Chain A
Amino acid sequence: MAQVLQEKDSVRLRKVLLQLLARSESDDCLLCDSGGHMLALEGASRHDPFLISALGAGVFGASRELARMLGENEFSAVLHQGERKSIFLRAVDADTLLVMIFSQSANVGLVKLYSTPAVEDLRQILADIKQGPPVGDTEDSRPFVLSTETQLFSLRKE
């Protein structure tokens, strides 16, 4: 029940996302899983990446169900086009989603085009992560320590 991203995995993901960001001239490139967890983010806009992950996973999950209804295996990508901003969602593997946000100045064709090799790279990295060393067996694995705070969430002080 735990998915873990080691430091070196983050570095590899970052490299791919940065390159994609530059080539496609998009504002943000983000990786999330189907449960809505945010795995990685590159970009400069101030949108809340956790909300984008939650909504992106929802939108994509819903479109997958629509595809199934129509007898399609899946829609591998979803594009929402606005006047100024657009968003492009693309499956990386069964459990991971690439989200790209771009402005009018960027070109949809380029976004789609460059997302293809990026998705290949990302898929490879994610596969490596799943094969990777077990939890507690790497340089990052200092043991987790729970804080002694028993009330994790408390009321605001008036």
Chain B
Amino acid sequence: MSFVNFKKREVQFKIVYYGPGLCGKTTNLQVIHRLINPEARGDLTSIATAGERTLFFDFMPLVAQAIEGYQTRFQLYTVPGQVMYNLTRRLVLRGVDGVVFVADSQWSKMQENVESFANLEENLQLQGETLQTLPHVLQYNKRDLPDVAPVHYMEFMLNHGAVRQSSFPAVATTGEGVFEALNMVARQVLHKFMIVHSRKEEGVRELALV
């Protein structure tokens, strides 16, 4: 859930990168850290195994001029993709405002993508959220590799709901498709925030649930 501090004139949002093991979630944060205007970001902190697999999460704060008169902070997190760390994924998802689902485009990973997406929906439900209302975008990563499924096939597998979500082919190692996905999810998160804060009635009900 977003967090507004009127005294400090600050709004905080939480964006989570989700997806199967090794799909490139950590790489997304690393390339953002490397390529973004340095004033807009804080340090990238990773809690990982010696083998560089995410153990708990990666964390990087970004600051944007998104809401007039307020410092708008987007806190970026990744989850550990390995199946066994599901409890950890639930912890990281707490209070999420937006999700970038990173899928691995390789044919051999399609099953894992589908399972991870279902796992996301399931974990969201445990905290009373659903992808129907939670801002999210899809990123089809590793487009540079030889054995990748065509984009339309990935859409068919992962993006077949009543409302088509924005999706981005990507090569996270170079940054291709990375900022596009980030900007889109951030914009969706902001729009949802504006809606909640402009319709008083809704705002009241939402607050009561906090």
Residues of chain A at the chain B interface (Cβ within 8 Å) = 1-7, 10-11, 33-39, 48, 50-51, 54-55, 57-58, 61-62, 65, 95, 130, 134-137, 140, 142-147, 149-157
Contact = CB atoms under 8 A, between A and B. Distances in A.
A155 B183 CA distance: 12
A153 B91 contact: no
Main secondary structure of the interface of B (DSSP, over half): mixed
Given A10-B7, A50-B73, A58-B56, 17 more contacts: A1-B206, A2-B197, A5-B5, A7-B7, A35-B96, A37-B12, A37-B75, A39-B3, A48-B43, A57-B91, A58-B47, A61-B94, A62-B88, A65-B87, A136-B198, A147-B66, A152-B187
Contacts of B5: 5, 10, 39
Given A137-B200, A155-B36, A155-B37, A4 B66 contact: no
Interface of B: 1-8, 12, 14, 32, 35-38, 40, 42-43, 45, 47, 56-57, 59, 61-62, 64-70, 73, 75, 77, 87-88, 91-92, 94-97, 175, 179, 182-183, 186-187, 190, 192-194, 196-198, 200, 203-204, 206-208, 210
Contact of A5 (B7, B47, B69, B190): B7
A1 B187 contact: no
13 contacts: A2-B2, A2-B193, A2-B206, A35-B14, A35-B94, A37-B12, A50-B61, A65-B91, A144-B70, A144-B194, A147-B67, A152-B183, A156-B37
A85 to B, nearest CB: 17
Contact of B183 (A10, A57, A135, A153): A153
Contacts of A37: 3, 12, 14, 75, 95
A138 to B, nearest CB: 9
A67 to B, nearest CB: 13
Kindly list the 5 A-B residue pairs having the minimum CB-CB distance in the complex, ordered from nearest: A35-B95, A135-B203, A10-B7, A134-B204, A61-B91
A134 B4 CA distance: 13
B66 A152 contact: yes
A36 to B, nearest CB: 7
Contacts of A146: 66-68, 190, 194
Interface centre among B12, B96, B196 (most CB of A within 10 A): B12
Nearest to A1: B1
Nearest to B2: A2
A95 B92 CA distance: 14
Contacts of A134: 200, 203-204, 207
